[in-house]
Structure 1
Amino acid sequence: MSKYYVQSGTMRSVVQAESSRRAALWAVHQAMQQVLPMEDADGVTPQSKSDSAVQEGVSVLSRTVQVSEQGFDRSDAKTMPTLEVVNEWNDLVMTLDRLERMLHLAS
Structure 2
Amino acid sequence: MIQTDNNLAELVAKAASDKKARDIVIMDLTGISPVTDHFVICSANSTTQVQAIADNIEEQLAEQGIKVLHKEGYRDAHWVLLDYGHCVAHVFVEDDRQFYKLERLWGDAKQVVYQG
Is TM > 0.5 for Structure 1 vs Structure 2? no
Q: Which structure has the larger Rg?
A: 1
Greater per-residue helix proportion: 1
TM-score, scaled relative to structure 2:
0.28
Greater per-residue strand proportion: 2
